[in-house]
Amino acid sequence: MEDPKSHQSPERFTVDGSASLETRLKKLCDLSLQAIESIIPKGNLEAVLLGGGYGRGEGGVLKLFDGDHPYNDLEFFVMVKGGSVWSLDRKYGPALHEIGERMSPDAGLDVEFKIFSLPRLRQASVNMFYYDLVARSRWILGEEKMLHGCEHHLNAKSIPLHEATRLLMNRTSGLLFSKDKLNLSTRSEFDKDFIGRNLSKLDLAFGDVVLTSQGLYHWSCIERKRRLETELQERANNYPADFQQLLQPYQIAVEFKQHPTRSDSTTWEQLESAWEQRRQLSEQVWIWLESKRLGADFKSGTDYANWSGNLCPESNPLKNCLINLKTFKSQALKRPIFRYPREFLFRSLALALWDQPNLQAASNQLAQQLNIPTGANLKEITQAYTNLWNRYN
C-alpha cells in the first residue's frame, strides 16, 4: 500500500509556480465549481475532484516574459448520484461540455468535466487511472472521508500489466498522429509544439511501463524518476541493453512536464530525427512488454501483429461480441467478433508504425482491423485509427 499521507488533497497546484499562477488556478477551480453547481442540483452533486498534474500538485509551469502561465488541462471529475454514470452523463454531460468549451479560451487551457460516481469507484477493479485519482487529487468539493471503500486503489502493485500496454498504446499513438503533422505540406509552430509534446509524453511512458511491470509505479512523476534511476542502474541486467537509452529522456521529460517550453528553437529536421528514433525504440519497448504480458516470444512488430493469440485476454468474449456489433454493425460479422476492439488498435499500430516499408503489403490486414477499403494511404489509415482510438483508448 502507499503511504496513507499520499491519500490527501495537495496544498498547491504546482511544485514551484508563482503565487499569481496558483491564485489563477484556484480562481479557475472556483469558477468551474460555480458552473457545475448551476447545472447539477445540490442533492445530486456529491463531490468534485481535480485530477491530472494540477490535481496532484505537480502541474506544468510555462515561464514566459510576462510571468508564469498554466500549461496542462484542468480535468474535473464530477461525482454525481441518482443513476448510472451512463444516464447521468447523458443528462448533464452536454451542458458541462459546453461550459468547458466556453471557459477554455479565456482560461488559456482546456477545461474538461467528466461525470463519475463514488459507488462505481468503490466497486471498480484497480487500474492506473483510478490509482492516480484516489492516491492524489485535489478536492474542489467534498472531503477525504468520502473515499472510504476505495483503499484498494492505493496499491500500485495491483495495477495489471495490460494497463501498461494501454498506456504505451496511447502514447505510441501520438507517434502516428505526429507523423500526420510531419507529412503536412504547410506546417505551423502549433504542429511543432504538438509533435514535441507527444514525443515527451512517449519518453515518460517508456519509463512508466518499466515501473508498472515491476509494481513500482507511483502517482508522483518526481518519485517515478527516482525509482526508474534506481531500477535501470542497479538492476540493468533485468532489461535489454537498449533500455539504458530510456533513462535520460525520461529525466528530461519529467523536467518538461513540470517546466514545459515551446518548441520554437527546434528545427523540423531535429523533430523528424527524434520521431524516427522514438519509432524504433517504441517497437523494442512494445515487444518486450507484450512478450512479458502475454507469455509469448515476439521478434518484431510484424510478428506481434500477425500473432493468432488473443491480445486482450482479460476482456469478456460475450461482452466483446456486443461491443463489436454496436461499433461495426453488419461488418462485425466479418471480423473476430469475440475479440475486444482495442486489440484491433494494437495490431494496426504495429503495422502502421513498425512495418512502414511494407505498408502496402499490410493493406489487407489494416483494412480488416480498421474497417476501411484496401489500399488506403497512411493519412487515411491514421484517420480511421483515430476514429477507433477515440472510442477504445
pLDDT tens-digit readout, 303-350: 999 999 999 999 999 999 999 898 888 887 778 899 999 999 999 999
Mean pLDDT of the 355-369 span:
73
User: Are the CB atoms for 137 and 77 separated by under 8 Å?
Assistant: yes
Q: Is it the case that residue 206 has pLDDT exceeding 70?
A: yes
User: Are the CB atoms for 49 and 137 separated by under 8 Å?
Assistant: yes
Mean pLDDT of the 210-221 span:
96
- How many other CB atoms are found less than 10 A from the CB of residue 127? 16
Cα atoms in the Cβ-side hemisphere of radius 13 Å centred on 286: 30
pLDDT tens-digit readout, 115-165: 999 999 999 999 999 999 999 999 999 998 999 999 999 999 999 999 999
Cα atoms in the Cβ-side hemisphere of radius 13 Å centred on 17: 30
Give the C-alpha separation, 323 to 388, whole Å. 12
Q: What is the pLDDT of residue 1?
A: 47
Confidence of residue 357 (pLDDT cuts 50, 70, 90): low
Q: Is it the case that residue 360 has pLDDT exceeding 70?
A: no
Residue 324's identity, in one-letter code, is: N
Q: Is it the case that residue 171 has pLDDT exceeding 60?
A: yes
Q: Where are the alpha helices (DSSP H) in the chain?
A: 19-39, 52-55, 85-107, 118-123, 128-135, 161-182, 189-213, 221-234, 247-258, 268-294, 301-305, 317-328, 342-354, 363-370, 378-392
Confidence of residue 217 (pLDDT cuts 50, 70, 90): very high
Which residues lie closer than 8 Å to 366 by C-beta, 6 or more apart? Answer: 348, 351, 352, 359, 372, 376, 381
Q: How far is CA 87 from CA 83, 112, 202, in A?
A: 6, 19, 35
Confidence of residue 368 (pLDDT cuts 50, 70, 90): confident
Mean pLDDT of the 373-377 span:
81
Mean pLDDT of the 56-76 span:
93
Q: Is it the case that residue 5 has pLDDT exceeding 70?
A: no
Q: What is the pLDDT of residue 2?
A: 52
Give the C-alpha separation, 60 to 201, whole Å. 13
Query: 195 burial class (0-12, 13-18, 19+ CB within 10 angstroms)?
Result: buried
Average pLDDT, the chain: 91
Q: What is the pLDDT of residue 4?
A: 46
Residue 138 β-bridge partners:
50
Dihedral-angle region of residue 373 (phi above 0 means left; psi in -120 to 50 means alpha; beta otherwise): beta
The CA-to-CA distance between both ends of the chain, in Å, stands at 27
pLDDT tens-digit readout, 231-242: 998 998 888 988
In this prediction the pTM is 0.91
DSSP string, 106-145: HHTS-EEEEEE-HHHHHHSPP-HHHHHHHHB-EEEES-GG
